[in-house]
Protein backbone atom coordinates (compact mmCIF):
# COMPACT_ATOMS: atom_id res chain seq x y z
CA UNK A 1 0.00 0.00 0.00
CA UNK A 2 2.82 2.36 0.93
CA UNK A 3 4.64 1.66 -2.34
CA UNK A 4 1.43 2.39 -4.28
CA UNK A 5 0.98 5.72 -2.43
CA UNK A 6 4.62 6.64 -3.09
CA UNK A 7 4.26 5.72 -6.78
CA UNK A 8 1.12 7.81 -7.07
CA UNK A 9 2.86 10.70 -5.35
CA UNK A 10 5.80 10.47 -7.76
CA UNK A 11 3.48 10.34 -10.77
CA UNK A 12 1.51 13.31 -9.43
CA UNK A 13 4.72 15.29 -8.89
CA UNK A 14 5.92 14.44 -12.42
CA UNK A 15 2.54 15.51 -13.83
CA UNK A 16 2.78 18.83 -11.96
CA UNK A 17 6.34 19.41 -13.22
CA UNK A 18 5.31 18.54 -16.77
CA UNK A 19 2.33 20.91 -16.50
CA UNK A 20 4.52 23.75 -15.22
CA UNK A 21 7.04 23.09 -18.02
CA UNK A 22 4.28 23.19 -20.65
CA UNK A 23 2.87 26.38 -19.13
CA UNK A 24 6.30 28.07 -19.19
CA UNK A 25 6.84 26.91 -22.78
CA UNK A 26 3.43 28.29 -23.76
CA UNK A 27 4.18 31.64 -22.07
CA UNK A 28 7.55 31.75 -23.83
CA UNK A 29 5.86 31.24 -27.20
CA UNK A 30 3.31 34.01 -26.60
CA UNK A 31 5.75 36.42 -24.98
CA UNK A 32 5.06 39.05 -27.66
CA UNK A 33 1.32 38.91 -26.83
CA UNK A 34 2.11 39.28 -23.12
CA UNK A 35 4.28 42.30 -23.97
CA UNK A 36 1.40 43.88 -25.93
CA UNK A 37 -0.94 43.32 -22.97
CA UNK A 38 1.60 44.82 -20.54
CA UNK A 39 2.11 47.92 -22.72
CA UNK A 40 -1.66 48.30 -23.15
CA UNK A 41 -2.11 48.02 -19.38
CA UNK A 42 0.44 50.81 -18.81
CA UNK A 43 -1.31 52.99 -21.42
CA UNK A 44 -4.64 52.26 -19.71
CA UNK A 45 -3.22 53.25 -16.31
CA UNK A 46 -1.88 56.52 -17.75
CA UNK A 47 -4.98 57.22 -19.82
CA UNK A 48 -7.63 56.36 -17.25
CA UNK A 49 -7.50 59.77 -15.45
CA UNK A 50 -7.85 61.51 -18.86
CA UNK A 51 -10.88 59.36 -19.74
CA UNK A 52 -12.39 60.13 -16.33
CA UNK A 53 -11.86 63.86 -16.94
CA UNK A 54 -13.69 63.73 -20.28
CA UNK A 55 -16.51 61.62 -18.80
CA UNK A 56 -17.07 63.55 -15.56
CA UNK A 57 -16.17 67.14 -16.46
CA UNK A 58 -17.05 67.38 -20.17
CA UNK A 59 -19.84 64.76 -20.12
CA UNK A 60 -18.47 62.92 -23.14
CA UNK A 61 -19.65 59.34 -23.81
CA UNK A 62 -17.21 56.65 -22.69
CA UNK A 63 -16.27 55.45 -26.18
CA UNK A 64 -15.64 59.01 -27.41
CA UNK A 65 -13.55 59.77 -24.29
CA UNK A 66 -11.45 56.66 -24.88
CA UNK A 67 -10.92 57.46 -28.59
CA UNK A 68 -9.83 61.03 -27.79
CA UNK A 69 -7.49 59.79 -25.03
CA UNK A 70 -5.87 57.23 -27.34
CA UNK A 71 -5.49 59.89 -30.04
CA UNK A 72 -3.77 62.16 -27.51
CA UNK A 73 -1.40 59.45 -26.23
CA UNK A 74 -0.46 58.05 -29.63
CA UNK A 75 -0.35 61.56 -31.08
CA UNK A 76 2.38 62.39 -28.58
CA UNK A 77 4.23 59.17 -29.47
CA UNK A 78 3.94 59.86 -33.22
CA UNK A 79 5.09 63.44 -32.64
CA UNK A 80 8.20 62.16 -30.88
CA UNK A 81 8.89 59.63 -33.64
CA UNK A 82 8.37 62.29 -36.33
CA UNK A 83 10.97 64.41 -34.52
CA UNK A 84 13.50 61.57 -34.49
CA UNK A 85 13.03 60.43 -38.12
CA UNK A 86 14.50 63.61 -39.73
CA UNK A 87 17.48 63.32 -37.40
CA UNK A 88 18.07 59.70 -38.47
CA UNK A 89 17.72 60.69 -42.15
CA UNK A 90 20.14 63.57 -41.71
CA UNK A 91 22.68 61.35 -39.97
CA UNK A 92 22.32 58.78 -42.77
CA UNK A 93 22.99 61.47 -45.37
CA UNK A 94 25.97 62.71 -43.37
CA UNK A 95 27.32 59.18 -43.17
CA UNK A 96 26.90 58.74 -46.93
CA UNK A 97 28.87 61.96 -47.55
CA UNK A 98 31.46 61.12 -44.91
CA UNK A 99 35.05 61.81 -45.91
CA UNK A 100 36.99 59.08 -44.09
CA UNK A 101 40.36 60.75 -44.57
CA UNK A 102 39.10 64.04 -43.16
CA UNK A 103 37.45 62.19 -40.25
CA UNK A 104 40.70 60.34 -39.52
CA UNK A 105 42.61 63.62 -39.59
CA UNK A 106 40.16 65.33 -37.20
CA UNK A 107 40.08 62.39 -34.79
CA UNK A 108 43.88 62.11 -34.81
CA UNK A 109 44.20 65.86 -34.20
CA UNK A 110 41.80 65.58 -31.24
CA UNK A 111 43.73 62.51 -30.04
CA UNK A 112 47.03 64.44 -30.14
CA UNK A 113 45.52 67.44 -28.35
CA UNK A 114 44.09 65.25 -25.56
CA UNK A 115 47.44 63.43 -25.16
CA UNK A 116 49.33 66.74 -25.08
CA UNK A 117 46.86 68.11 -22.52
CA UNK A 118 47.32 65.03 -20.30
CA UNK A 119 51.07 64.85 -20.89
CA UNK A 120 50.93 61.43 -22.58
CA UNK A 121 53.16 60.29 -25.46
CA UNK A 122 51.62 60.87 -28.90
CA UNK A 123 50.40 57.77 -30.79
CA UNK A 124 48.46 57.52 -34.04
CA UNK A 125 44.88 56.44 -33.34
CA UNK A 126 44.58 54.44 -36.58
CA UNK A 127 47.92 52.63 -36.59
CA UNK A 128 46.30 49.24 -36.03
CA UNK A 129 43.09 49.87 -37.96
CA UNK A 130 42.97 49.09 -41.66
CA UNK A 131 39.59 50.11 -43.07
CA UNK A 132 40.42 48.73 -46.50
CA UNK A 133 40.70 45.19 -45.16
CA UNK A 134 37.26 45.46 -43.56
CA UNK A 135 35.73 46.60 -46.84
CA UNK A 136 37.46 43.80 -48.76
CA UNK A 137 36.24 41.15 -46.29
CA UNK A 138 32.68 42.47 -46.20
CA UNK A 139 30.14 39.95 -47.53
CA UNK A 140 27.70 41.89 -49.71
CA UNK A 141 25.47 38.79 -49.99
CA UNK A 142 24.34 39.51 -46.44
CA UNK A 143 22.74 42.84 -47.49
CA UNK A 144 19.45 41.26 -48.80
CA UNK A 145 19.21 39.17 -45.60
CA UNK A 146 19.74 42.28 -43.52
CA UNK A 147 17.09 44.24 -45.47
CA UNK A 148 14.64 41.34 -45.15
CA UNK A 149 15.22 41.34 -41.40
CA UNK A 150 14.59 45.11 -41.26
CA UNK A 151 11.29 44.78 -43.16
CA UNK A 152 10.29 41.91 -40.86
CA UNK A 153 10.95 44.06 -37.80
CA UNK A 154 8.95 46.96 -39.29
CA UNK A 155 6.03 44.59 -39.98
CA UNK A 156 6.17 43.27 -36.41
CA UNK A 157 6.16 46.84 -35.04
CA UNK A 158 3.09 47.75 -37.14
CA UNK A 159 1.21 44.60 -36.03
CA UNK A 160 2.23 45.18 -32.42
CA UNK A 161 1.08 48.82 -32.56
CA UNK A 162 -2.38 47.83 -33.79
CA UNK A 163 -2.58 45.11 -31.13
CA UNK A 164 -1.65 47.56 -28.36
CA UNK A 165 -4.21 50.14 -29.59
CA UNK A 166 -6.93 47.46 -29.81
CA UNK A 167 -6.24 46.07 -26.31
CA UNK A 168 -5.84 49.56 -24.81
CA UNK A 169 -9.23 50.58 -26.20
CA UNK A 170 -11.03 47.76 -24.39
CA UNK A 171 -9.03 48.25 -21.17
CA UNK A 172 -10.08 51.92 -21.15
CA UNK A 173 -13.65 51.32 -22.32
CA UNK A 174 -14.40 48.64 -19.75
CA UNK A 175 -12.71 49.67 -16.51
CA UNK A 176 -13.74 46.34 -14.96
CA UNK A 177 -12.16 44.19 -17.67
CA UNK A 178 -8.79 43.91 -15.92
CA UNK A 179 -10.53 43.57 -12.56
CA UNK A 180 -12.74 40.69 -13.75
CA UNK A 181 -9.71 38.95 -15.24
CA UNK A 182 -7.91 39.36 -11.91
CA UNK A 183 -10.92 38.09 -9.95
CA UNK A 184 -11.02 34.95 -12.09
CA UNK A 185 -8.01 33.69 -10.07
CA UNK A 186 -9.72 34.31 -6.71
CA UNK A 187 -11.22 31.55 -4.61
CA UNK A 188 -14.88 31.85 -3.77
CA UNK A 189 -15.23 34.10 -0.76
CA UNK A 190 -11.95 35.97 -1.42
CA UNK A 191 -13.32 38.25 -4.16
CA UNK A 192 -13.48 41.34 -1.92
CA UNK A 193 -9.87 40.91 -0.80
CA UNK A 194 -8.74 40.51 -4.44
CA UNK A 195 -10.76 43.58 -5.40
CA UNK A 196 -9.05 45.67 -2.71
CA UNK A 197 -5.62 44.46 -3.85
CA UNK A 198 -6.38 45.23 -7.49
CA UNK A 199 -7.79 48.70 -6.74
CA UNK A 200 -4.79 49.70 -4.61
CA UNK A 201 -2.29 48.41 -7.18
CA UNK A 202 -4.14 50.15 -10.02
CA UNK A 203 -4.25 53.50 -8.21
CA UNK A 204 -0.61 53.39 -7.10
CA UNK A 205 0.75 52.29 -10.47
CA UNK A 206 -1.41 54.80 -12.32
CA UNK A 207 0.13 57.61 -10.26
CA UNK A 208 3.59 56.09 -10.71
CA UNK A 209 3.44 55.88 -14.52
CA UNK A 210 1.92 59.36 -14.80
CA UNK A 211 4.76 60.58 -12.58
CA UNK A 212 7.35 58.90 -14.81
CA UNK A 213 5.81 60.53 -17.90
CA UNK A 214 5.89 63.91 -16.13
CA UNK A 215 9.51 63.36 -15.08
CA UNK A 216 10.55 62.59 -18.66
CA UNK A 217 8.71 65.71 -19.90
CA UNK A 218 10.38 67.98 -17.31
CA UNK A 219 13.83 66.57 -18.10
CA UNK A 220 13.12 66.93 -21.83
CA UNK A 221 12.36 70.65 -21.36
CA UNK A 222 15.47 71.21 -19.20
CA UNK A 223 17.75 69.27 -21.59
CA UNK A 224 16.34 71.15 -24.60
CA UNK A 225 17.10 74.51 -22.96
CA UNK A 226 20.61 73.30 -22.10
CA UNK A 227 21.35 72.04 -25.62
CA UNK A 228 19.93 75.17 -27.28
CA UNK A 229 22.15 77.27 -25.03
CA UNK A 230 25.25 75.51 -26.39
CA UNK A 231 23.91 75.42 -29.98
CA UNK A 232 24.04 71.63 -30.20
CA UNK A 233 22.81 69.96 -33.38
CA UNK A 234 19.29 68.45 -33.27
CA UNK A 235 18.70 69.61 -29.66
CA UNK A 236 15.05 68.42 -29.44
CA UNK A 237 15.78 64.86 -30.59
CA UNK A 238 18.89 64.57 -28.41
CA UNK A 239 17.03 66.02 -25.40
CA UNK A 240 14.23 63.47 -25.79
CA UNK A 241 16.66 60.54 -26.10
CA UNK A 242 18.57 61.67 -23.00
CA UNK A 243 15.32 62.23 -21.06
CA UNK A 244 13.95 58.83 -22.09
CA UNK A 245 17.18 57.12 -20.93
CA UNK A 246 16.28 58.26 -17.40
CA UNK A 247 13.60 55.56 -17.37
CA UNK A 248 16.46 53.24 -16.36
CA UNK A 249 17.24 54.17 -12.74
CA UNK A 250 20.82 55.30 -11.94
CA UNK A 251 22.39 53.87 -15.13
CA UNK A 252 20.13 55.87 -17.45
CA UNK A 253 21.20 59.34 -16.20
CA UNK A 254 24.88 58.34 -16.47
CA UNK A 255 24.41 57.13 -20.06
CA UNK A 256 22.42 60.28 -20.91
CA UNK A 257 25.15 62.53 -19.47
CA UNK A 258 27.90 60.76 -21.42
CA UNK A 259 25.85 60.94 -24.63
CA UNK A 260 25.11 64.64 -24.20
CA UNK A 261 28.72 65.59 -23.42
CA UNK A 262 30.01 63.47 -26.32
CA UNK A 263 27.56 65.00 -28.83
CA UNK A 264 28.35 68.56 -27.76
CA UNK A 265 32.07 67.77 -27.95
CA UNK A 266 31.67 66.29 -31.44
CA UNK A 267 30.14 69.57 -32.65
CA UNK A 268 33.54 71.18 -32.19
CA UNK A 269 35.58 68.39 -33.78
CA UNK A 270 38.69 69.94 -35.36
CA UNK A 271 38.80 72.90 -32.94
CA UNK A 272 41.46 73.33 -30.27
CA UNK A 273 40.84 70.83 -27.45
CA UNK A 274 42.01 72.86 -24.45
CA UNK A 275 40.44 76.20 -25.42
CA UNK A 276 37.22 75.12 -27.23
CA UNK A 277 36.28 71.43 -26.90
CA UNK A 278 37.10 70.88 -23.21
CA UNK A 279 35.41 74.09 -21.88
CA UNK A 280 32.21 73.37 -23.84
CA UNK A 281 32.11 69.78 -22.60
CA UNK A 282 32.70 70.99 -19.03
CA UNK A 283 29.93 73.62 -19.20
CA UNK A 284 27.45 71.10 -20.65
CA UNK A 285 28.38 68.59 -17.96
CA UNK A 286 27.87 71.26 -15.27
CA UNK A 287 24.46 72.17 -16.72
CA UNK A 288 23.52 68.51 -16.93
CA UNK A 289 24.47 67.94 -13.28
CA UNK A 290 22.28 70.91 -12.27
CA UNK A 291 19.28 69.34 -14.07
CA UNK A 292 19.97 66.03 -12.32
CA UNK A 293 20.08 67.79 -8.93
CA UNK A 294 16.67 69.32 -9.73
CA UNK A 295 15.38 65.90 -10.77
CA UNK A 296 16.78 64.12 -7.70
CA UNK A 297 15.68 66.70 -5.13
CA UNK A 298 12.26 67.64 -6.55
CA UNK A 299 10.96 65.21 -9.18
CA UNK A 300 11.97 61.83 -7.81
CA UNK A 301 10.87 62.34 -4.16
CA UNK A 302 7.43 63.37 -5.42
CA UNK A 303 7.19 60.53 -7.95
CA UNK A 304 8.66 57.65 -5.95
CA UNK A 305 7.79 58.78 -2.43
CA UNK A 306 4.24 60.02 -2.95
CA UNK A 307 3.09 57.79 -5.81
CA UNK A 308 4.24 54.38 -4.51
CA UNK A 309 4.43 55.21 -0.77
CA UNK A 310 7.99 53.93 -0.31
CA UNK A 311 11.08 55.38 1.37
CA UNK A 312 13.88 56.52 -1.02
CA UNK A 313 16.38 54.12 0.61
CA UNK A 314 13.88 51.30 0.21
CA UNK A 315 13.51 52.14 -3.50
CA UNK A 316 17.28 52.39 -3.94
CA UNK A 317 17.91 48.94 -2.45
CA UNK A 318 15.11 47.31 -4.46
CA UNK A 319 16.42 48.78 -7.74
CA UNK A 320 20.01 47.68 -7.01
CA UNK A 321 18.90 44.14 -6.08
CA UNK A 322 16.68 43.88 -9.18
CA UNK A 323 19.56 45.13 -11.34
CA UNK A 324 21.94 42.50 -9.94
CA UNK A 325 19.39 39.71 -10.45
CA UNK A 326 17.76 40.70 -13.76
CA UNK A 327 19.92 43.42 -15.31
CA UNK A 328 18.59 46.64 -16.86
CA UNK A 329 15.09 45.22 -17.41
CA UNK A 330 14.92 44.36 -13.70
CA UNK A 331 15.83 47.93 -12.78
CA UNK A 332 13.03 49.30 -14.98
CA UNK A 333 10.27 47.08 -13.55
CA UNK A 334 11.62 46.97 -9.97
CA UNK A 335 9.49 49.78 -8.51
CA UNK A 336 6.07 48.80 -9.97
CA UNK A 337 6.69 45.11 -9.19
CA UNK A 338 7.76 45.88 -5.62
CA UNK A 339 4.72 48.12 -5.16
CA UNK A 340 2.38 45.33 -6.27
CA UNK A 341 4.12 42.86 -3.94
CA UNK A 342 3.76 45.28 -1.00
CA UNK A 343 0.02 45.66 -1.62
CA UNK A 344 -0.47 41.88 -1.77
CA UNK A 345 1.66 41.40 1.37
CA UNK A 346 -0.39 44.00 3.28
CA UNK A 347 -3.60 42.09 2.54
CA UNK A 348 -2.26 38.55 2.98
CA UNK A 349 0.64 38.78 5.46
CA UNK A 350 -0.35 41.78 7.59
CA UNK A 351 0.13 39.83 10.84
CA UNK A 352 3.94 39.87 10.43
CA UNK A 353 5.80 42.82 11.97
CA UNK A 354 8.15 43.38 9.02
CA UNK A 355 5.19 43.53 6.63
CA UNK A 356 3.40 46.01 8.89
CA UNK A 357 6.53 48.20 8.97
CA UNK A 358 7.09 48.16 5.20
CA UNK A 359 3.44 48.73 4.29
CA UNK A 360 2.44 51.24 6.96
CA UNK A 361 2.12 54.02 4.37
CA UNK A 362 -0.22 52.09 2.07
CA 137 vs CA 66, 99, 143, 148: distances in Å? 55, 21, 14, 22
What's the pLDDT at 96?
Answer: 54
Domain ranges of the chain: 1-129+144-175, 193-362
Min mean pLDDT across 112-116, 139-143, 242-246 is at: 139-143
Residue 136 reports pLDDT greater than 50: no
Residue 290 reports pLDDT greater than 80: yes
Say how far apart CA 70 and CA 153 lie, in whole Å.
24
Rounded average pLDDT over 23-41: 85
- The stretches of the chain forming alpha helices (DSSP H) are 2-29, 31-56, 62-96, 100-118, 131-137, 142-173, 177-183, 191-229, 235-245, 251-266, 278-294, 300, 307-308, 312-348, 353-358
Min mean pLDDT across 83-87, 202-206, 314-318 is at: 83-87
Say how far apart CA 284 and CA 290 lie, in whole Å.
10
- Own/partner contacts of 249-257, CB < 8 Å, gap of 24 or more, are 249/319, 249/331, 249/332, 249/334, 249/335, 250/319, 250/320, 250/323, 250/331, 251/323, 251/328, 251/331, 253/292, 253/295, 256/288, 257/285, 257/288, 257/289, 257/292
CA 135 vs CA 26, 102, 103, 105, 130: distances in Å? 44, 18, 17, 20, 9
| Residue 306 per-residue DSSP state | I
What's the pLDDT at 22?
Answer: 92
Q: For residue 60, give the nearest of 48, 72, 51 by alpha carbon.
A: 51
What's the pLDDT at 274?
Answer: 63
Rounded average pLDDT over 142-156: 61
pTM comes to 0.70
Residue 360 reports pLDDT greater than 60: yes
Q: For residue 178, give the nearest of 187, 189, 167 by alpha carbon.
A: 167
Min mean pLDDT across 186-190, 321-325, 339-343 is at: 186-190
Ramachandran angles phi, psi of 283, nearest 5°: -65, -40
% residues pLDDT > 70 (the chain) = 74
pLDDT-based confidence at residue 132 (cuts at 50, 70, 90)? very low
Rounded average pLDDT over 127-141: 49
Q: Are 252 and 225 in contact (CB under 8 A)?
A: no
Q: Work out the number of other CB atoms within 10 angstroms of the CB of residue 144.
A: 9
The most distant pair of C-alpha atoms in the chain lies apart, rounded to whole Å, by: 90
- Own/partner contacts of 299-303, CB < 8 Å, gap of 24 or more, are 299/214, 299/215, 299/218, 299/219, 300/215, 302/211, 303/208, 303/211, 303/212, 303/214, 303/215
Q: Are 160 and 36 in contact (CB under 8 A)?
A: yes
pLDDT-based confidence at residue 318 (cuts at 50, 70, 90)? confident
pLDDT-based confidence at residue 120 (cuts at 50, 70, 90)? low
| Residue 311 or residue 144, greater confidence | 311
- Own/partner contacts of 299-306, CB < 8 Å, gap of 24 or more, are 299/214, 299/215, 299/218, 299/219, 300/215, 302/211, 303/208, 303/211, 303/212, 303/214, 303/215, 304/211, 304/335, 306/207, 306/211
Q: Are 295 and 246 in contact (CB under 8 A)?
A: yes
Amino acid sequence: MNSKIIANGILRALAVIAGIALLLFFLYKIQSILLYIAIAAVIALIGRPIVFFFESRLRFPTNLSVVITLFLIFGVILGIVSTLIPVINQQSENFAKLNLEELKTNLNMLNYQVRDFLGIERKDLFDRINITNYLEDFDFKSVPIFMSSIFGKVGAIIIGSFAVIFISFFFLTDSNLMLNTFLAFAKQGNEERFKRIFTKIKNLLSRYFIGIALQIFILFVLYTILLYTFEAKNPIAVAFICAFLNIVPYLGPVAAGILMVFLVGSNHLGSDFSSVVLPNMFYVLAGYLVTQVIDNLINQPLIFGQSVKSHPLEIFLIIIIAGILFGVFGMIVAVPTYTAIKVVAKEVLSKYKIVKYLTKGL
